[in-house]
Amino acid sequence: MTWIMVDIEADGPIPGDYSMVSFGAVVVEPGLTRRFQARLRPISERWVPEALAVSGLTREQTLAFDDAATTMQRFADWLAALGRDQPRFVSDNNGFDWQFINWYFHHFLGRNPFGHSSTNLGSLYKGLVKDTRQNFKHLRRTPHTHDPLDDALGNAEALLHMQRDMGLYLPPPT
């Protein structure tokens, strides 16, 4: 399976009522060169200024971004071009990131190329070190900036470190 590290930024707490304004995705493999990044025009009139401020964007900026349906199709095409196996979604906060990616795929394309599952990076680390109080974030090399591609890269670096230096087994692509 191909592991895809994903990070999203949104202008509110839930998809549908609020909008995903950007996301980044990185294939978790040495080099971290296969990447996808997108900015999406809001799909709702509702937005929470404090939520949007986390990304450093203004509402006016987001209104000029790309159409969400077109963007999700481009992302699905990028995922399909990676190979025949089903990609595996992993993120730092999969409860948040997954809900937006899943909703957008189903809403705009009628299907989610990731299937019905996601993986939480923090939980993988806690299991690996056998301590639920531990945190993986010290393993990131790319600073956490709330630019979703930067954040996906940092998290992918951490996952590769867990695989390479800590013995985490990640099945290779089939």
| Secondary structure, 3-state, 121-146 | HHHHHHHHHCCCCCCCHHHCCCCCCC
- Count of beta carbons in the 10 Å neighbourhood of residue 4: 24
Q: Angle of helix 94-109 relative to helix 68-81, nearest 10 degrees?
A: 100
Point out the catalytic residue in the list 107, 144, 146, 161: 146
Helix (H, G, I), strand (E, B) or coil at 80: helix
- Count of beta carbons in the 10 Å neighbourhood of residue 146: 14
Active site residue 146: yes
Active site residues: 146
